[in-house]
Structure 1
Amino acid sequence: MSLIYLIAGESSGDVLGARLLAALRRARPGIEAVGIGGDRMAEAGLTSLFPMRELALMGLLEVLPKLRALSRRLDQTVADITARRPSVVVTIDSPGFCLRIAERIRPLGIPIVHYVAPQVWGWRPGRVKHIAKLADRLLCLLPFEPAFFRAAGLDARFVGHPVLESGADQGDAARFRARHGIAPEERVVLVMPGSRRTEVSRMLPVFGEALRLAAERVPGLRPVVPLAGPVEQAVAAAASGWSPAPILIRDIGEKHDAFAAAAAGLIKSGTSSLEVALAGVPLLVGYRVNPVTAAIVRRLVRVKYASIVNLLADAPVLPEFIQQDCTPPRLAEALVGLLTDPELAGAQIAAAAAVMDQLRPPGGGSPSEAAAAAVLELLAA
């Protein structure tokens, strides 16, 4: 029986890990899996070494107070892998933690697969040589990434983007409106502030005020805020005083129904923007980080856009409002434009759909199946 060690450090990685584990077991039912994950990986049958939420941090200043605790968890994970000697270790995203694990276990000679290429092509290209020393195989979500990493001698595979398996484009608008008593003339606006506490604390006040300003010009707005993971309570508390009052939802299926019903979205830059674009919803991308973190990143970044849709299109398909540009008045103005100009909204939807086609894995099948095949190849080697 093959033992696979899976490590995820945040909510998006937990979803990837769960789908990967399911695909691995479909292909090889006798596989045993252990490691670190959240609720979704637990549902797929993985017992986590410790709560994954302890790793869900980002930003230089946000991580500093937690360094000692993270160091202990790093030591604990390395000791567990050393004791178990799995057939392969799959680290999923969260490069700050996962690549440190890879570096520590490299002398053990266990094959290492890293799932989700670190976006060093965007702001730290010099890091690619270091990454190439830490993994035997890199699973890439974007079609242009393998060539970049292969140039450094790393076995990199494009496996397709997992957003295509999310079901984000399968919702039922009529069901959502009926469930929440939304009148035909009311306009649903999605609000997705991120999956980390630091993101939520910065983005929700900005998004909430932008909605208030937009509602003064477009009557009948109904904000919808999906709740999930370790930030659920924080999001619910922060949005409770909004005007217009938000609809808070928890179920993934209901989230996709909300996508189908939505007229526009205020979305934090990241995977959530891809989900909403896949669902055919016009959206605005906003993002803020700690000012010190932003100043450092600004000096390092080497790409023109923050959103993947815009990077793949090499054009501003989705309006981006980053850092100092991410203000309530600017967001409100752009949101009103999407809600009142059908041609503007339609052009964005069409351009985003063309980009989403680039994210399909080569050779057909699903992204998780392609990723599982790439992992299983190492077991057979």
Structure 2
Amino acid sequence: MASSAEASGSCAIALVAGEPSGDLLAARLLAGLRPHLPEARFHGIGGPAMIAEGFVSEVPMETLTVRGLFEIIPRYRELKGIQRALRDRLLAERPAVFIGADYPGFNLGLEGELKAAGIPTMHYIGPQIWAWRGGRIKSIIRNVSHMLVIFPFEEEIYRKAGVPVTYVGHPLAELIPLEPDVAAARRALGFADDARVVTIMPGSRMGELKYNTAAFVGAVKLLQARDPGLRFVAPMAGDRQKAYFTELKAQAGLQDVEITLLDGRSHTAICAADAVLVASGTASLEVALFKKPMVIAYKMMRASWEIMRHMGYQPWIGLPNILAREFLVPELLQHHASAEALAENLWQQLTDAPHRARLVERFTAMHHSLLRNSAAESAAAVLKVIGRA
């Protein structure tokens, strides 16, 4: 029989998010859980969106953020120490459930140790086993009690593998309107309704900025020469990113290229745009949900690239193209992502009217396929796992 404290929702639920995308996912989950578990303690490692939902982060989320295969090596001992310390606390506390929000390299191992000790474990957003590292399914079977997935095609993959799974929809499909108000976004940024706006998004991580900035800004310079009337904006994830971006521009000799830097407000910047140059990742899906033409690009440390380019199972890396199962928009990777190539492809996205109309149609259908009440769906799955359905 449940104690009165348990019945009132007085329990601990532990979560770990290591990056902004996981922070967003977990925050939506917390928003769905809080009304059902008003006295629960939600804690672990998370970011500002989770903290806004009453989450207690015991380690700054930024401490976990690292990119690439080789870039993690210098920080391996530090990250392993954080993982072990958290594991020990959770084994002593025995929360009702542990939920890893993405960040599989850190979370799957932690989930395995907790599950072996009898603590239910959930993983929110499946690692991209359908894109690369398919052998990870064995680790998921061993370490995870229940998967929460955000793309409809993932449900069958886990069900066939014998992993309990729930498709909960993608939170971004709820946050982004089906019909974005472009005029309002342009007014918010001080642009005229008829301005031609290009948004560039070289990444939110410092490593992404390091490798992408010079080519992205070089493309802006070429496009400005082609059409001096174009306006360019770049949302920055924080002050550190903003300062680093400015420094990298100067190092590349591009300090005079005019780009309006925004403090956050990435959705406003995307909504206002006629086209977007975006680093591969969740941001490319955001651009698709805003129904915008785009060019997807990505650069990384050469050694990491040489390994990762042989590990993919699909011809696409951009989420819009993966979901569409075709190259709806261009993808330019590593040495192909030169300033010249980015500028030429972005110009085509700006000027090909029939292509732009087709993208609106395809991206609208994509939006509908991802649209669920993710807070309610994910919370219901958690409540079932902890016996509070």
Q: Give the TM-score category using the shorter length.
A: over 0.9
The 1:138–1:19 alpha-carbon spacing in structure 2 relative to 1, beyond 3 Å, is: same
How far off its partner does 1:27 sit?
Answer: 3.3
The answer to whether the aligner puts 1:373 opposite 2:373 as a matched pair is no
CA contact (8 A) 1:223 1:246 kept: yes
Is the partner of 1:27 in helix, strand or coil? coil
Is the partner of 2:70 in helix, strand or coil? helix
| In structure 2, distance between residues paired with 1:79 and 1:236 | 42
Unaligned regions of 5+ residues in structure 1, if any?
A: none
| In structure 2, distance between residues paired with 1:16 and 1:173 | 26
The 1:302–1:179 alpha-carbon spacing in structure 2 relative to 1, beyond 3 Å, is: closer
Q: What does residue range 143-292 of structure 1 map to in structure 2 within 5 Å?
A: 143-167=152-176, 172-229=181-238, 231-238=241-248, 242-252=255-265, 255-292=266-303
| In structure 2, distance between residues paired with 1:221 and 1:243 | 15
The 1:61–1:228 alpha-carbon spacing in structure 2 relative to 1, beyond 3 Å, is: same
Flag the structure with higher helix content. Answer: 1
| In structure 1, distance between residues paired with 2:319 and 2:344 | 23
Q: What does residue range 25-44 of structure 1 map to in structure 2 within 5 Å?
A: 25-44=34-53
Is the partner of 2:147 in helix, strand or coil? strand
> Which of 58, 75, 96 lines up with 1:87 in the alignment?
96
CA contact (8 A) 1:168 1:259 kept: no
Deviations for 1:228-271, whole angstroms, at most 9, x for unmatched residues?
A: 2563443354457555422222244xx33332321000011111
CA contact (8 A) 1:82 1:105 kept: yes
CA contact (8 A) 2:174 2:371 kept: no
How far off its partner does 1:49 sit?
Answer: 1.4
How far off its partner does 1:179 sit?
Answer: 4.5
| Aligned AA (2:380) | A
Is the partner of 1:190 in helix, strand or coil? strand
RMSD: 2.0
Question: 1:112 aligns to what?
Answer: 121
> Which of 359, 368, 373 lines up with 1:348 in the alignment?
359
The answer to whether the aligner puts 1:359 opposite 2:370 as a matched pair is yes
| Aligned AA (1:52) | M
| In structure 2, distance between residues paired with 1:41 and 1:239 | 33
| Aligned AA (1:209) | G
> Which of 311, 314, 317 lines up with 2:322 in the alignment?
311
CA contact (8 A) 2:114 2:120 kept: no
TM-score (norm 2): 0.91
| In structure 1, distance between residues paired with 2:338 and 2:200 | 15
Aligned length: 375
* Percentage of matched positions with identical amino acids: 36
Question: 2:110 aligns to what?
Answer: 101
How far off its partner does 1:159 sit?
Answer: 0.9
Question: 1:57 aligns to what?
Answer: 66
Unaligned regions of 5+ residues in structure 2, if any?
A: 1-9
